[in-house]
Amino acid sequence: MIRKHSKISIIGAGAVGATTAYSIVTQKLVSEVVIIDVNKDKAEGEAMDISHGLVAMEATNIHAGEYSDIVDSDIIIITAGIGRKPGETRLDLAKKNVGIAKDIAANIMKYYNGGVIMVVSNPVDIMTYVIQKESGLPAERVFGTGAALDSARFRYLLSEKIGVDLKNIHGFIAGEHGDSQFAVWSSVHISGMSLDSYCKKYNICIDREEIEKEVIYSGAEVIKRKGATYYAIASVVSELCNAILKNKKSIYNVSTILDESYGLDRICISTPSIVGINGVEKSILFDFSDDEFEKLAASVKQLKGMIDSLGI
């Protein structure tokens, strides 16, 4: 049920921003959606196109706007930025998109009066770090989609390999939303049964290394075939919006300032977090295995190196 008035502002009218807007409207999450883009005609066109289908959906006020229209937003979603090209890593984008992130943060804070900022633009961990730092907002108020998409891909692939509904498969990807991410195999279970136990009982053989590689490179494979990825991330963003708006306190692997209890550099990276009306309500200190913790530390080191080289 839509609250009396609820509002989401989306900065960026590219494929990800437009598909996210469409997903939010079709799921009837809010009463108002604002699309903001430097290309005003593009933002207006996307809003018009979605509006023309409202006869089959819940009444939603979807329109193009300016930064001043973010006032009273429950959620501000940032999808703007230069997209990743075939053969380019997410980290290769950093030098191009950091300046854009700083400009977006400055414009948001001219009008910001509350709400959660969700960063989708890549490289999402670095973009989230920059926007949180530049905005000066509490860390919980700014988070990135991070490895939430990778975790969805991970569960899907496991479902395909095992032959079980992915809703009954639990497990996640941690670390960078990029090449240094890793599967947290110690977290995987099928309706409460450990992965090893399930596979042993039913004579299923899984190539863990192959699955991890598929997760890491699946985005690049989609880009190679169709030029961009947007359906899957739009679905993940909508799910996160639902958790925020309904204060569900659901657990997702999103990119936020790393809990100091891990004893690693305080950068934005994905570990399990509780997501609710205030954004990241709490970071969960997960019991990583020794091997997994080493991979987390390596991922942190890689991102910290990029942050240092960018002077941010």
Q: Does 133 share its domain with 171?
A: no
Looking at 144, 176, 199, which one is the last position of a domain?
A: 144
Q: Give tens-digit pLDDT for 195-220.
A: 999 999 999 999 999 999 999 999 98
Q: Give tens-digit pLDDT for 133-149.
A: 999 999 999 999 999 99
Specify the pLDDT at position 5. 85
Q: Does 133 share its domain with 170?
A: no
Q: Does 232 share its domain with 90?
A: no
Q: Give tens-digit pLDDT for 281-298.
A: 999 999 999 999 999 999
Average pLDDT over the chain reads 93
Looking at 126, 144, 162, which one is the last position of a domain?
A: 144
Residue 56: inside a domain: yes
Quickly count: other Cβ atoms within 10 Å of residue 214's Cβ. 17
User: Which structural domain range is residue 57 located in?
Assistant: 7-144
Which CATH number goes with the domain that contains 64? Answer: 3.40.50.720
Q: Does 109 share its domain with 215?
A: no
Q: Does 188 share its domain with 214?
A: yes
Residue 257 near residue 267, CB atoms below 8 Å:
yes
Residue 230 has pLDDT above 60, yes or no: yes
Q: Does 273 share its domain with 204?
A: yes
Residue 106: inside a domain: yes
Residue 222: inside a domain: yes
Mean pLDDT, residues 174-194 taken together: 95
pLDDT tier, 273 (very low <50, low <70, confident <90, very high otherwise): very high
Residue 7 has pLDDT above 60, yes or no: yes
Task: List the 182-190 sheet strands across, edge first.
Answer: 169-174, 182-190, 193-194
Residue 1: inside a domain: no
Which CATH number goes with the domain that contains 218? Answer: 3.90.110.10
270 strand-pairing partners: 175, 255
Q: Does 158 share its domain with 306?
A: yes
Q: Give tens-digit pLDDT for 86-133.
A: 666 656 778 889 999 999 999 999 999 999 999 999 999 999 999 999
Q: Does 26 share its domain with 130?
A: yes
Q: Does 68 share its domain with 190?
A: no
Residue 249 has pLDDT above 70, yes or no: yes
Please indicate whether residue 177 is annotated as part of the active site: yes
Kindly name the residue from 5, 170, 177, 189 that is annotated as catalytic.
177
Residue 258: inside a domain: yes
Residue 2: inside a domain: no
Residue 312 has pLDDT above 90, yes or no: no
Q: Domain tally for the chain? A: 2
The pTM for the full model equals 0.94
Looking at 103, 126, 144, which one is the last position of a domain?
A: 144
Mean pLDDT, residues 151-173 taken together: 96
